[in-house]
Amino acid sequence: MNYRHSMTCYTEGIRPVAPVQWRGLDGMMSVFWDAEGQSGARAYYLSPDPRIVIFFNDVSPHIRMSNREGGFGQHDRPMTRALYVPAGVPLWTNFTSTHRFSHLDLHLHKDRLLRFLSPSVGTSAALAALRRPVEIQDVRVIETLASLVVDEVSNPSKHPVFAESLVGSIVAGLLDIPEHGAEPTNGRLTQAQMKKLISRVNDRPDCRLTVAEMAGTVGLSESWFANVFKQTTGKTPLQWQLGRRIELAQKLLSESDLTVADIAAQLGFSDQAHLTKAFRQIAGETPAAWRRLQQHR
């Protein structure tokens, strides 16, 4: 399949520090960048095709990303080592400090991905996976595969099918493809989606995400997510999230000497009274009374 990727891209304060390396393959384009972004640098990306970005160094302390225009400060998050961006999903990035980085961009034709995935997982599951964004920090095997792709992009030594098979392995390892029989049924979240959501919430020190951020984590619209989440857990997203924050408060009460006020501040409650009210609603006791009970057991 002859394929030329098309992407709207605006950058400011980012410059390549070495010649860009690229190679066209069957239904995909592989591009390797070695670049530097200045503090305050920013960029915008929008592609009609799916794409994968794999960084070869940790950029999370230096680059923030958002899928909303003007979302920095409210709806942004650290850039991860690898991400899959579905077709038509916009991405804004912002550098908080000067940083040199290298990454592999894989621009992929949707039909090529379907041709690769459908025989193994089915067309329905493949289409669902292509709609779900993925962001991971632990890249391990994927980084090794990406390095091999870069070698074939920079100095082709084998038939193109070798590089194409490497990209296929990256796709299979990165995309959120449900295990056999794990497709959503009756409007419920899959086990993989719940695991991803729990991991995302746990990564936040205060365990707080907006419903929009929770929906984006599993690749669903905010309204549809709220509906299927209630079907899955029996709770609204914010009720469930509050329950996890109270569980963390209980852990801190039993395993640390932090005051109730300190715990309230750490978990993002407005003050001690706010935590006490929420804690009593869920646990049936005030934090102080609950701690005393634990100490006498």
Q: pLDDT tens digit string along 170-215?
A: 999 999 876 544 444 456 788 888 888 888 888 877 778 888 888 8
- CA-to-CA distance for 296 and 286, rounded, in angstroms? 16
Q: Measuring CA to CA, which residue among 98, 109, 89, 100 is closest to residue 44? A: 89
Within 13 Å of residue 144, how many CA atoms lie on the same side as its CB? Answer: 4
Residue 216 confidence class, pLDDT cut points 50, 70, 90:
confident
Within 13 Å of residue 53, how many CA atoms lie on the same side as its CB? Answer: 23
- CA-to-CA distance for 264 and 253, rounded, in angstroms? 11
- CA-to-CA distance for 171 and 164, rounded, in angstroms? 11
* Chain region(s) in the chain for CATH 2.60.120.10: 8-174
**CATH 1.10.10.60 given to domain 185-297:** yes
* Chain region(s) in the chain for CATH 1.10.10.60: 185-297
Place of tokens 């067309």: 123
User: Which pTM was predicted?
Assistant: 0.64
Phi, psi of 25 (to 5 degrees): -125, -175
Dump pLDDT digits (tens) for 221-231.
777 788 888 88
Q: Measuring CA to CA, which residue among 148, 121, 154 is closest to residue 18? A: 154
The pair of structure tokens assigned to 86 is: 């579905």
- CA-to-CA distance for 189 and 182, rounded, in angstroms? 9
Residue 120 has a CB neighbour count (10 Å cut-off) of 11
Q: What is the pLDDT of residue 3?
A: 65
Q: Which of 118-127, 161-170, 216-225 has the highest mean pLDDT?
A: 161-170
Q: Report the greatest alpha carbon distance in the chain.
A: 72
- CA-to-CA distance for 117 and 125, rounded, in angstroms? 9
Mean of pLDDT values over 139-159: 93
Q: Measuring CA to CA, which residue among 76, 103, 106 is closest to residue 91? A: 76
Q: Are 49 and 27 in contact (CB under 8 A)?
A: no
DSSP assignment, residue 219?
T
Q: What is the pLDDT of residue 74?
A: 74
CATH superfamily of 8-174: Jelly Rolls (2.60.120.10)
Q: Measuring CA to CA, which residue among 62, 106, 100 is closest to residue 83? A: 106
Helix (H, G, I), strand (E, B) or coil at 82: strand
Angle at which helices 287-295 and 237-255 cross, to 10°: 50
